[in-house]
Structure 1
Amino acid sequence: MSDLTLVLLAAGEATRFKKPVKKQWLRIGGDPLWLRVLENFRAMRLFSRYIVVGHADEIAFMLRHIYNEKVRFVTGGASRQASLRNALEEVATPLVMVSDVARPCVEKALCKTLLAAVERADCAVPTLPVPDTVYYDGAPIDRKKVLRIQTPQISRTETLREALDRGIEYTDESSAIHALGKKVAFVPGDASLHKLTFADDTAMLPCLEAPDTQARFTGTGFDVHAFDDSPGHKPMVLGGVTIDAPMGFLAHSDGDVAIHALIDALLGAAGMGDIGELFPDTDSLWAGADSAKLLRHVVHLLLHAGFVICQADITIVAQTPKIGPHKEAMRRRLAEILQIPPQHVNIKATTTEKLGFVGRKEGVAVEAAATLKFFDWTRA
């Protein structure tokens, strides 16, 4: 056990999956796929350490799912091989098993078979025969000599590092090690190790449990911005709509206090933290930023992480400007950004009866609530 580290690759863009959700974030019951696969490997008790490679935009959210000193999260690279090289920097054991989250149905028996096989080789891989006639370069070849290579694969760590440091791009570990002139051992694979590449592949993976379609997640958000009536102030933008007013908002971004509260509500429902973590006001990148673009980015993150936005409810507390004439434009603008029907966005407006900073016409406060559910990949 102390000789083996697991590297789980889960940083891909999933461009061929053609669904709003990334395949590593498909919900299996209530868990994202990458977490369910990791827990399956942890239950085997074969590994001394676990390294999960995630996309740069997703690492922070991954970290919220698990706290274990034996699990290390590493940011992926521009390719599978670059991601693996990043992970290998954290591997201290003589052996490393590399598995793709896209092959979720791995059994302990196969892992033990690979461990036994690597004792006589530099890399051990599961393989399947090719049942069909095979042509290469226009001519048939002996299909008995053709093998389909699967993952997971176990390699000698130093050999794998040497193989990947040659600057040549390989599609898997065995190819890199074979090119180095080292020995690759083959063991029988399994059809259940089918790779999740396209949406239809989910039907070929018996270990995938349907998502929890009954779960609903509600988050709330609250934000306040003071008015800015200084010369050259920014235009007032509220709920994604520009309002003709003699003042704007004092803020690092455009100051759209309604969208800021809505972002926090969405992030709260997903368990993704808050707006300050994603778009800190200490970062010049967000100076004067269009809050609608920030909201689009959050929607993008939510959809990729396996959520569907159900509805949003926003209460704008303002003595001035008058919100009523703009409510419908706000509602439709936000519905378009959230990618939900406009009837599922509600805008309410009230005053504080001239009490407090709002009543003194010094600023605006907004409270928002939003509800999410899991994307149902079994029906989409």
Structure 2
Amino acid sequence: MSNITLVLLGAGSSSRFKTNVKKQWLYSNDIPLWLHVAKQFEKSSDFNQIIIVSTAEEIQVMRNFATYIYVEGGASRQASLANALQYVDSEYVLVSDIARCCIPTEMIRRILDAKEKGSCIVPVLPVTDTLYMNEMPIDREQVKIIQTPQLSVTKLLKKALETETLFTDDSSAIASLGERVHFVEGSAAAHKLTTLDDLQKLPCIQAPSSRTLTGFGIDIHAFEANKEMFLCGVKIDAAYGFKAHSDGDVAIHALIDALLGAAGMGDIGELYPDTDSRYAGADSKALLKDTVRRITSFGYKIGNVDLTIMAEAPKLLPYKAQMRTTLASILCIKANFVNIKATTSEKLGFVGRKEGVTVHAVANLNYFNWKNI
């Protein structure tokens, strides 16, 4: 078994990326960037274990893609790494940033092959431009550009991080102990994805697949007297509403399930459980907005949605246009990509007896095409 654990850090907010999509969820063909990076590392070496550090929300989705060890990050890179190190018992730990996504295999091999030459093995690039500090030129031969991944002796890295001092990388922490840091040749190809412009410098990332992802949702609610009725986010003039933990908007609930189904992200009960007091009487439009935020941040773009509302009562024709525009606004798509159909059950079943409403919804998603930015 290998004596090296791989830790990939990706708990940041991507604030400098300036899109609603987190950069670790850009798609290369059919796989998200974070998984692409992990697979590239797997090709280079047999690791004792692979740990992915991310946010709790993202980890829920990441588990659907691969069976790595997932650890929730902290408020800083250093805090995230410290969290991951609690799960590391191998002699060495290789730490990299998911944002550094085109690391050549030969660069990784240079780092691993030098593991006995220092307490931290660091890839570096020379500085080729003239440098000034405080309006005075400095010797660029004495300056190095530090990259990741960095290989450290695990027990020393753990010890180095037992401090309030914040370090910008692992080598700085190891050096603070007076331990030897050994440099190996890095690679200009290992460019870090920080801003949108950096996408042009990452030839290993393919355009996202043009695949359409389809999800189906269904929800049913019984009527409840003396409660306001909402359907598709629109208040309906009726003497009754829906029996539900939230406001009971059965159409939006079905639509949320369709969207989550297309994205492979579970169902409405997992994200907004009716056992959670936070959602008691919740505005379903707010739940839909949050679902759209999640789907967008995870690299998907909504194509179109289609809803069929089965109701013997109330009559919905006067509300359909408003339903369409309300949903389109929340989904951030054009109104013509939202279709609302209303039908009856020909007086059969609980719908026919005017005891409640059922809604079927279909949603189509595509991967966010970052090539068009």
What is the TM-score normalised by the length of structure 1?
0.96
Gaps of 5+ in 2: none
Q: Deviations over 1:94-150 (max 9, x none)?
A: 100001111111223222221232312111111111111111123221111111100
Residues 206-225 of structure 1: matches in 2 within 5 Å?
206-213=203-210, 215-225=211-221
> In structure 2, what is the equivalent of residue 116 of structure 1?
113
Residues 76-115 of structure 1: matches in 2 within 5 Å?
76-115=73-112
Q: How far apart, in 2, do the equivalents of 1:84 and 1:131 lie? A: 31
Shift of 1:287: 1.0
Runs of 4+ in 1 over 4 A off after TM superposition: none
1:6 counterpart letter in structure 2: L
1:218 counterpart letter in structure 2: T
Q: How far apart, in 2, do the equivalents of 1:345 and 1:13 lie? A: 31
> In structure 2, what is the equivalent of residue 66 of structure 1?
66
Shift of 1:364: 0.8
Instruction: Work out whether residues 104 and 189 of structure 2, in 8 Å CA contact, stay in contact via their aligned partners in 1.
Output: no
Instruction: Work out whether residues 227 and 239 of structure 2, in 8 Å CA contact, stay in contact via their aligned partners in 1.
Output: no
Q: How far apart, in 1, do the equivalents of 2:176 and 2:235 lie? A: 61
Q: How far apart, in 2, do the equivalents of 1:257 and 1:96 lie? A: 50
Would you say how many aligned residue pairs link Structure 1 and Structure 2? 373
Q: How far apart, in 2, do the equivalents of 1:337 and 1:169 lie? A: 41
Instruction: Work out whether residues 301 and 368 of structure 2, in 8 Å CA contact, stay in contact via their aligned partners in 1.
Output: yes
Q: How far apart, in 2, do the equivalents of 1:363 and 1:78 lie? A: 47
Identify which of 207, 226, 231 aligns with 1:238. Answer: 231
Identify which of 341, 363, 366 aligns with 1:373. Answer: 366
Residues 189-200 of structure 1: matches in 2 within 5 Å?
189-200=186-197
Q: How far apart, in 1, do the equivalents of 2:134 and 2:371 lie? A: 39
Shift of 1:12: 1.6
Query: SS in structure 2 opposite 1:192?
Result: coil
Gaps of 5+ in 1: none
Give the share of equivalent positions with the same residue, in percent. Answer: 54
1:112 counterpart letter in structure 2: R
> In structure 2, what is the equivalent of residue 327 of structure 1?
320
Q: How far apart, in 2, do the equivalents of 1:45 and 1:146 lie? A: 30
**1:354 and 2:347 matched:** yes
> In structure 2, what is the equivalent of residue 299 of structure 1?
292
> In structure 2, what is the equivalent of residue 226 of structure 1?
222
> In structure 1, what is the equivalent of residue 126 of structure 2?
129
Query: SS in structure 1 opposite 2:71?
Result: strand
Q: How far apart, in 2, do the equivalents of 1:174 and 1:225 lie? A: 58
Instruction: Work out whether residues 104 and 190 of structure 2, in 8 Å CA contact, stay in contact via their aligned partners in 1.
Output: no
1:319 counterpart letter in structure 2: E
Q: Deviations over 1:155-187 (max 9, x none)?
A: 111111111120222211111111222211111
Q: How much is the aligned-residue C-alpha RMSD, in angstroms?
A: 1.1
Instruction: Work out whether residues 44 and 109 of structure 2, in 8 Å CA contact, stay in contact via their aligned partners in 1.
Output: no
What is the TM-score normalised by the length of structure 2?
0.98
Query: SS in structure 1 opposite 2:215?
Result: strand
